[in-house]
Amino acid sequence: MYRLYGALLFLAWAAVLPCQMLMTVLKRTSLPPLRERLGHLPAGAAGGGFWIHAVSVGEVRLALSLLPSLRRRFPGAPVHLTTGTATGRALAATGGAAPPESIAALPFDLPFAMGRLLDGLRPRAILILETEIWPNLLRLCARRGVPVILVNGRISPRSYPRYRALGLFLRRALPGVSLFGMQSREDADRIVSLGADERRVRVTGNLKFDLAPPQADRQGVRRRLGLEDGAPLFVAGSTAAGEEPAVLEAFAALRRSHPSARLVLAPRHPENFAAAQRLARAAGHAVVLWSRYAAAGSAPARASFDVLVLDAMGVLPEIYAASDLVFVGGSLVRRGGHNVLEPAALGRPVLFGPHMENFRAALEALTAAGAGFVARDGDELGRLLLRLLSDRAGYAVASAMARRVVEANRGALDRTLALVEEALAPAPAPGLQDARP
């Protein structure tokens, strides 16, 4: 079975790599890091520490939040971070005061590539954010005695049938995971049904509740944007292709009642920046890009835009801090939604579409507290925006409850660190488990 998997994976990459190289030429971006994909360590990488894998932006943000506590618990242990996307890598490279010691692309899940990286890193443990199952990596780690810990694991109702279709294969791969830290009891039950040993499964909670709110100066950000006092700022964060028309429809309704309102449109993926800009202009709005606006160097006396397209990664949290109204995308289309807890931690009532399978527990907690609101289309989104702005007392309650939901669910970080310590604890000697003094 592993030989068949390896052959299929090799053929898939043989087809994908030429396409990637062509796209890099057309888009004038950098070539895929082939040496890293083959398991070669980047310059400056050190062995004997931790290897963390975080596929994209959301997971990288969680990985960076783990680093300070991980280093306090395990001083001197270097961290090597692998990612699966260019945007995730870019965020990792700007990882604040204490970024990972080294960053690279995840190697192909082929024995020679994964084995080469393991030989170079000699990791004490591997932490995999959320649910990424790489069979050859797990098999190699089991042979070498390297603990693998699944951190912040989740299996959504939407993805569960796809995992079940791979049931026989997963039952052979999952024993290579030392411990599973799952977000909820439902996630834990699903991973056990797929073949995980229930004795290795823990419910640790969702690390996103433990992310620190951005230390942004709300008024400072608003001055930087040139927003006058009292001008409502509507932020549509992490939008997916196909959601912009609904967001712009809702914004038009908001502007009819509040002409000073402004919109920040933040597509999830860089390839959607240009399309978002075109759609906003086609709707008759004055549009600017964040990159050009920020490059001006001095704050304007008055905002020169109706719609600002956020064409940069890592800036959205501080824009949320300046907002009055927030919609989180990937939820009006079938993408499963994105992180609603970032704006909630800042005390913002959160609006989202009906497709929030990836954040079901957070959605339920926010809606039950009166701090989360579901909009099924642009018309309903517009009506919710107007309702929140017109009811000051209701807005204040929703804001307070959003913060309370986040604070009440913290604790996953400590439980995750305890999971790492458990995985690294020496196994009891044979025959001593039942010894009596």
Q: Which of the residues are catalytic?
A: 59
User: Are 260 and 288 within 8 A, CB to CB?
Assistant: no
Task: Work out the burial of residue 60: count CB atoms within 10 Å of its CB; fewer than 13 is exposed, 13-18 middle, 19 or more buried.
Answer: buried
Q: Residue 18 CB: number of other CB atoms within 10 A?
A: 9
The identity of residue 384, as a single letter, is L
The conformation of residue 75, written as its DSSP 8-state character, comes to T
Cα separation of 434 and 72, whole Å? 34
Query: If you count them, how many residues does the chain have?
Result: 437
Tell me, what DSSP letter sits at residue 214? P
Q: How far apart are CA 99 and CA 231, in angstroms?
A: 37
- CA dist 152 and 182 (Å) reads 5
Q: Which helix (H) or strand (E) holds 111?
A: helix 111-121
Identify whether the C-beta of residue 160 lies closer than 8 Å to the C-beta of residue 192. Answer: no
**HSE value, Cβ hemisphere, 13 Å, CA-based, for 7:** 4
Residue type, 190: R
3-state secondary structure of 35: helix
Residue position matching structure tokens 């509507």: 234
Alpha helices in 38-85 (DSSP H): 57-73
Under 8 Å between Cβ of 164 and 194: yes
Q: Residues with Cβ < 8 Å from 144, sequence gap 6 or more?
A: 118
Show the beta-strand stretches assigned E in 132-232.
148-153, 179-182, 201-203
The rounded Cα 103 to chain-centroid distance in angstroms is: 17
DSSP for 307-322? EEE--SSS-HHHHHHH
- The sheet with strand 287-289 has its strands ordered as 287-289, 307-309, 262-267, 233-239, 325-328, 350-352, 372-374
Closest of 192, 113, 178 to residue 142, by C-alpha: 178
Residues 262 and 230: their CA atoms lie apart, in Å, by 11
Token pair listed for 251: 């914004």
